[in-house]
Chain A
Amino acid sequence: MDKSIIAYFESSHDFPEEVVIAAKMTPYKILGEVRKPSETADQYLFKTFCPLARSILEEAFDESDQWAGIIVAHGCDATNRQYDIWKHHITTPFLYWFNTPMNDRKSAKKFFKEELKALVKALEEKFDLEITLDSIKRAIRLSNEIKSVLKELSNLRALKDISNSEYFETVKRAMLCDRTKALEELINTIPRWQSKPEFPSDKRRIVLTGSDITYREFMDILDRAGLRVVRDDLSIGERYFATQIPNKEDPLESLVLYHFNKPRPSTKHHANPRLDYLESIVNETKVDGIVSQNLKFCEPFAYDSVWIVNSFKEKGIPIIHLERDYTSKADHQLINRLEAFNEML
């Protein structure tokens, strides 16, 4: 077991990693493995449930003995309803439920701070360590540095020939490994990306939105269809680095403010800031169109897709919505639809 890894299951970007970093541990976002069937998880979860959540549970079955503990952060129904299944069937020395608010009212902010304090205490007690306010401030600084480098790299997408999957793998890696090491690697990536050829003239510039993408193959499909993602609002993407954690005297207060300021996913109320963020992207960056998608059985994003699509259609911005299966295999029907969308652009 790697005593320093705290794995977490979240359905967007809800978990405050900085608390784990402050405990001198490594936060590891469980992302599942699309190439492996979720056979064990399927004994406990119906196949009509979100396949990503099932895959994440499968990874926990395979890997939990490598982790010091697991935290499940509230997001969509899969997180709160499936926590109990984890509790019954996953072997781990530490399983913790972290409740994040769905609302953005005053009471939600107060509640979130209480939950942060409880999380700090739970980690301190379980691992016999101290998480000081200073250590959280240091973790926030590190996190902010990572966010700002990721943003710089992200901005290069519209200028240089950076494949969809290279961008995706770069952001993803920053969520999985030791964060100091991650920062170093990201800084080294900047000159490499800066020296890449110019943005390819045969590619269309698109915004990618919807359910989180957790495997590179989907990003490859977009490239194959001639669509280059130059902006997004995904959790392995801009949601993770678009905003900085504010610098407040009380670092827990900083984390509270951050939680409510980052690009909002569909699992929250109000959901309108999600559309606001997408609109701001379209205003800031020259794009040819938007690809909206939801993973099969992902309800929160499927609900919002009609509204998001109609909002952009009304503005005359080309947009397509797709429902995708959880698979690493090339879905030719999907590719055909994306190619047709490209031609329409």
Chain B
Amino acid sequence: MVQSETKEISQNSTSSQQKKIHIRTLKSNKYLKRLMACYFFKAKIYPKIPWKYTAWTTSAFPVEMLWTYDIFPLHPENSATVAAARKLSKGLIEYAEGLGFSRDLCSYFKTNIGAYDKKIRTTYGGIDKPDFICTTGTICDTHVKWFQTQGRRMNVPVFIFDLPHQVAGCDEKTLKRYENYIVDQFYEWNDFVYDITGKKLKKKRLENVVRKSDRLCQLWQEIYSYRKKKPSPLGFNDTFAQIFPLVILPGIDAGIKYYEKVLAEIKDLAAKGKGVVPNEKYRLLFEGIPFWYRIKFIFELAQLGASIVYEPYTWAFGPRKPLGLSADEYLHAFARMWLQQPYYYNLDRRIEYFKEVIDEYSIDGVILHNNMSCRPNSTGMLDLKKMIQREIGIPAIIIEADMNDPRAYTEAAIKTRIEGFIELLEANSK
């Protein structure tokens, strides 16, 4: 979710080929820069304005639920990615470890501890104290433990949505019980927000936010569909940053305008047959969170003719929303949608999903990031890899690293693995 960059990577750092390959990023990204600058400005000043309410939130929390109450979301995970892209995360993580937090804990959490305590600037990954914190245990225990910890340290109230886990084989009756539980919590949430801000859920505003969020997701899905084209006009070097409006701004117009520009540009590139990677040879799926401190990984792959054309991570933020419902129906629909996001598909569904997108996006190979910070996302990866190789018959590799902690990225080992992977892709294409 950090700013994208245009890169020319010297060939000899990554492969045996000699020529430098120029990887372009989209022109429309300049609007993203403005959007982010505006967001960070507000993120800096809103916590200081008495009548403006701010809340820390996480991915997998329906941020629309904040915009509905006109509460400004601050996003520690997003801020942590900024710190990593600015090459600051290592120092912040080590600071948190100095306080006693284990090396094995999520590096987003530790980056946030460091960034908050050291009061670094928002544009460098800093974040201010919010009026309250809202999170969910949907994806990971970390989202709960992290926010409990910071809630305690900053002395702010914490609301945790408890999303029952939908394991493989879950039937409709069970899902209905889960849905009802989430809806009950929406009402508790409403009370919680009211106690702090005096604001109540307004149907009209909810509808407005949902409509805009849906429009944003519709555009995102349309943009994404152009990645099916060969060559793909859109790469991971753009999408990892482009998800910013989906993550934080789904309820406002600015994100929609930006996506309309992206879509127009992508359409044009597709019509001209221009790929993000010139001479696209291999089309890859990347599972997991990128290495924010080492985005050049994507550019290095491109030097080898490999284009990342699908990431469950960036796709996951854009599910379509139901429209034209009563307030209660919205809550039920939200609950159901929330239970079924790609982010935390159970293993059966995840396998099915991979099969579908590998086919639809003509994927030649899969890179699975076994993220030292994110055991929940890495669970099932070994089964996934076996399935991809055996049932689909394309190469898959697992790379061990970490999305925010550069200490976990072993240059030589990863380089060797990637080169071996490219050889497999080459052999498999014959």
A and B pair up: yes
Q: Is the CB of B375 within 8 A of A48?
A: yes
The 16 listed contacts between A and B (C-beta, < 8 Å) are: A46-B370, A48-B375, A81-B376, A81-B379, A84-B380, A87-B169, A97-B170, A105-B188, A106-B184, A107-B187, A114-B177, A269-B158, A269-B160, A300-B145, A303-B109, A304-B145
Which B residues between 144 and 178 are near A, CB-CB below 8 angstroms? 144-146, 148-149, 152, 158, 160, 162, 164-165, 167-170, 173-174, 177-178
What is the minimal beta-carbon distance from B196 to any residue of chain A, in angstroms? 16
Chain B 15-26, CB-CB to A under 8 Å as 1, else 0, gives 000000000000
What is the minimal beta-carbon distance from A114 to any residue of chain B, in angstroms? 5
Which B residues between 175 and 193 are near A, CB-CB below 8 angstroms? 177-178, 180-181, 184-185, 187-188
Q: Is the CB of B378 within 8 A of A46?
A: yes
Question: Does chain B have a CB within 8 A of A305?
Answer: yes
Which A residues between 274 and 302 are near B, CB-CB below 8 angstroms? 294, 296-297, 299-300, 302
Question: Does chain A have a CB within 8 A of B198?
Answer: no
CA distance in complex: A288, B76 (Å): 40
Question: Does chain B have a CB within 8 A of A83?
Answer: yes
Question: Does chain A have a CB within 8 A of B122?
Answer: no
Question: Does chain A have a CB within 8 A of B206?
Answer: no
- In the assembled complex, which residues on chain A have CB atoms less than 8 Å from the CB atom of B178? 99
Closest 10 CB pairs of A and B: A84-B347, A303-B145, A107-B184, A80-B165, A81-B379, A111-B181, A306-B100, A302-B102, A84-B168, A103-B162
What is the minimal beta-carbon distance from B425 to any residue of chain A, in angstroms? 24
CA distance in complex: A181, B145 (Å): 39
- In the assembled complex, which residues on chain B have CB atoms less than 8 Å from the CB atom of A74? 164-165
What is the minimal beta-carbon distance from B369 to any residue of chain A, in angstroms? 12
Which A residues between 138 and 174 are near B, CB-CB below 8 angstroms? none
What is the minimal beta-carbon distance from B54 to any residue of chain A, in angstroms? 21
Among A46, A48, A83, A87, the residue within 8 A (CB) of B382 is: A46
- In the assembled complex, which residues on chain A have CB atoms less than 8 Å from the CB atom of B346? 84
Q: Is the CB of B141 within 8 A of A77?
A: yes
Question: Does chain B have a CB within 8 A of A321?
Answer: yes
Q: Is the CB of B177 within 8 A of A49?
A: no
Q: Is the CB of A101 within 8 A of B162?
A: yes
- In the assembled complex, which residues on chain B have CB atoms less than 8 Å from the CB atom of A306? 99-101, 149
- In the assembled complex, which residues on chain A have CB atoms less than 8 Å from the CB atom of B162? 101-103, 108, 269
Question: Does chain A have a CB within 8 A of B348?
Answer: yes
Q: Is the CB of B380 within 8 A of A99?
A: no
Q: Is the CB of B185 within 8 A of A299?
A: no
Which B residues between 341 and 380 are near A, CB-CB below 8 angstroms? 346-348, 370, 372, 375-376, 378-380
Which A residues between 112 and 127 are near B, CB-CB below 8 angstroms? 114-115, 118
- In the assembled complex, which residues on chain B have CB atoms less than 8 Å from the CB atom of A321? 100
CA distance in complex: A152, B188 (Å): 40
Among B100, B168, B376, B383, the residue within 8 A (CB) of A309 is: B100
The residue of chain B having its C-beta at the shortest distance from the C-beta of A122 within the complex is B174
What is the minimal beta-carbon distance from B358 to any residue of chain A, in angstroms? 19
What is the minimal beta-carbon distance from A210 to any residue of chain B, in angstroms? 12
Given the interface pairs A87-B167, A296-B104, the reply to whether A44 lies near B145 with Cβ below 8 Å is no
Question: Does chain A have a CB within 8 A of B325?
Answer: no
Among A44, A271, A299, the residue within 8 A (CB) of B375 is: A299
Question: Does chain B have a CB within 8 A of A315?
Answer: no
Q: Is the CB of A294 within 8 A of B148?
A: no
CA distance in complex: A80, B167 (Å): 7
Question: Does chain A have a CB within 8 A of B312?
Answer: no
The residue of chain A having its C-beta at the shortest distance from the C-beta of B350 within the complex is A84
What is the minimal beta-carbon distance from B165 to any residue of chain A, in angstroms? 4
Question: Does chain B have a CB within 8 A of A110?
Answer: yes
Given the interface pairs A269-B144, A294-B102, the reply to whether A99 lies near B184 with Cβ below 8 Å is no
CA distance in complex: A76, B168 (Å): 17
The residue of chain B having its C-beta at the shortest distance from the C-beta of A296 within the complex is B104
What is the minimal beta-carbon distance from B291 to any residue of chain A, in angstroms? 17
Question: Does chain A have a CB within 8 A of B137?
Answer: yes
Q: Is the CB of A111 within 8 A of B184?
A: yes
Which B residues between 71 and 116 are near A, CB-CB below 8 angstroms? 99-102, 104-106, 109
Q: Is the CB of B102 within 8 A of A77?
A: no
Q: Is the CB of A115 within 8 A of B102?
A: no
Question: Does chain A have a CB within 8 A of B264?
Answer: no
Q: Is the CB of B188 within 8 A of A106?
A: yes
- In the assembled complex, which residues on chain A have CB atoms less than 8 Å from the CB atom of B109? 303
- In the assembled complex, which residues on chain B have CB atoms less than 8 Å from the CB atom of A310? 100
What is the minimal beta-carbon distance from B388 to any residue of chain A, in angstroms? 15
4 additional contacts (CB under 8 A) given A107-B181, A307-B149:
A43-B382, A107-B188, A111-B184, A299-B141
CA distance in complex: A45, B347 (Å): 13
Most buried by B among A49, A80, A84, A102: A84
Question: Does chain A have a CB within 8 A of B140?
Answer: yes
Among A77, A88, A107, A108, the residue within 8 A (CB) of B140 is: A77
Q: Is the CB of B347 within 8 A of A85?
A: yes
Which A residues between 35 and 85 are near B, CB-CB below 8 angstroms? 43-46, 48-50, 74, 76-77, 80-85
What is the minimal beta-carbon distance from A250 to any residue of chain B, in angstroms? 18
Question: Does chain A have a CB within 8 A of B381?
Answer: yes
CA distance in complex: A85, B167 (Å): 10
What is the minimal beta-carbon distance from A292 to any residue of chain B, in angstroms? 11
Q: Is the CB of A88 within 8 A of B383?
A: yes
What is the minimal beta-carbon distance from A115 to any residue of chain B, in angstroms? 7
- In the assembled complex, which residues on chain A have CB atoms less than 8 Å from the CB atom of B378? 46, 48-49
Question: Does chain B have a CB within 8 A of A12?
Answer: no
Question: Does chain B have a CB within 8 A of A26?
Answer: no
Q: Is the CB of B149 within 8 A of A83?
A: no
Question: Does chain A have a CB within 8 A of B142?
Answer: yes
Q: Is the CB of B375 within 8 A of A77?
A: yes
Question: Does chain B have a CB within 8 A of A261?
Answer: no
- In the assembled complex, which residues on chain B have CB atoms less than 8 Å from the CB atom of A4? none
CA distance in complex: A321, B102 (Å): 11
Question: Does chain B have a CB within 8 A of A238?
Answer: no
Q: Is the CB of A103 within 8 A of B177?
A: no
